[in-house]
A and B are shown apart, each in its own frame.
Chain A
Amino acid sequence: EDQVTQSPEALRLQEGESSSLNCSYTVSGLRGLFWYRQDPGKGPEFLFTLYSAGEEKEKERLKATLTKKESFLHITAPKPEDSATYLCAVQATNNFNKFYFGSGTKLNVKP
């Protein structure tokens, strides 16, 4: 069964304190792994898609990496405006019309 687990559920950081969010997945064949940012009361906002183990993508203070079993979202020197819930989702090769989401990591960056 395709499954996505995110950890930790919540993370509190001081401004400038770098850290990583984890997304572990079980899928029959990975077509794509997606990261989103969600602000309170809003829809998820697309950040990255990763397709192959070893792939990395960066956007400002965020860097996403992918292995065969998990993905990490590294946040370097975060700012308060990075506070949000970060969601991870996987798409399987045997049915790429279905996406399986984790329950998210709620990040709070204090000034």
Chain B
Amino acid sequence: NAGVTQTPKFQVLKTGQSMTLQCAQDMNHEYMSWYRQDPGMGLRLIHYSVGAGITDQGEVPNGYNVSRSTTEDFPLRLLSAAPSQTSVYFCASSYRRGRQETQYFGPGTRLLVL
């Protein structure tokens, strides 16, 4: 199993540009999520999905879109990049069985918006 994979590893954008951060998992997990990590602020939830076709907002959804057409993929779209979106982005997927849950994270995408 590759686990959770993310591409690209690093990206530089100019203000106003759009891009898609890719996330894929091969563990057949229904729950997937996107976080951003900023210095001193911990991880903050952007969007999550509980299955194909089902997405919802997290704490900081503004400026980001998601869709989930398959169980494996959960891309994050930046519509019009702003310097405030400079951050490290992590995708995660969760194994859930009853109350038991284990969350697996990808290696991250470092985004710099100029």
Contact = CB atoms under 8 A, between A and B. Distances in A.
Given A51-B99, A87-B42, A103-B41, A44 B50 contact: no
Contacts, number: 57
Contact of B42 (A49, A51, A97, A103): A103
Contacts of A4: 42
Interface residues of B, number: 27
B74 interface: no
Taking residues whose C-beta sits less than 8 angstroms from the other chain, chain A's interface range is 20 to 34
Interface string A43-64: 1111001010000000000000
Nearest to B48: A97
A42 B107 contact: yes
| Smallest CB-CB A-B distances: 5 pairs | A43-B105, A103-B42, A101-B43, A101-B42, A44-B105
17 contacts: A43-B4, A43-B90, A43-B105, A46-B103, A46-B104, A89-B43, A97-B31, A97-B48, A97-B50, A97-B56, A98-B45, A99-B33, A100-B45, A100-B59, A101-B35, A103-B40, A104-B42
Interface of B: 4, 31, 33, 35, 40-45, 48, 50, 56, 58-59, 90, 92, 99-108
